[in-house]
Structure 1
Amino acid sequence: MTDSIPTQSVSWLRGLAGASTVPVVAAAAAIVGLTAWSSDLPDPVAVHFGPGGAADGFASRAVAQWSPLLGLAFAALLAGILLLLTRRDVRAARMGAAVASGTGTAVAILPLGVLASQRGLADASEATFGGWWLVPAVLLGIVAAMIGSALVGRPGSVAAGSAPPSDAPHMELALTESVVWTGTAAMPRWLAAVLALVPVVIVVAVACATSEAAVPMLLGAAVVGALLMGLALAPVHVVVDGRGLETRYVLTGGRRRIPLEEIARADEVRIGLINRYGGIGYRVGPDGVGLLVRPGAALRITRGDGSKFTVTVDGADQAAAVLNSLAARGRVAK
Structure 2
Amino acid sequence: AATISASPAAPSLVLVEFTRNSPDGEERVLLNLDRTYSVARGGQLSEGTLSEEEMAVLLKELEDANLREQAGDYFDDTDCPDCAIYELVYRNLFGEHTLRTATGQEPAWSLPVLDALTALFLPEEPVAAASATVTATVQILADASATSMPSPQPSPATTPTAAATHTPTAIAQPAASPTPSATSTGSAASQYSTLDLLADLADSDAQVEVTPGRVVKPYLSAHGLIVRVDGEPLQVFQYPDEASLLADVASLDASASSINGLPLVWPAAPHFWRKGSLLALAVTDEGDFVDLISQVLGEQFAGQ
Larger Rg: 1
Q: Looking at both structures, which has the greater relative contact order when contacts are Cα pairs under 8 Å and sequence separation is at least 6?
A: 1
Q: Which has the higher helix share?
A: 1
Q: Which has the higher strand share?
A: 2
TM-score range relative to shorter protein: under 0.3
TM-score of the superposed pair, with normalisation by structure 1: 0.23
TM-score of the superposed pair, with normalisation by structure 2: 0.25
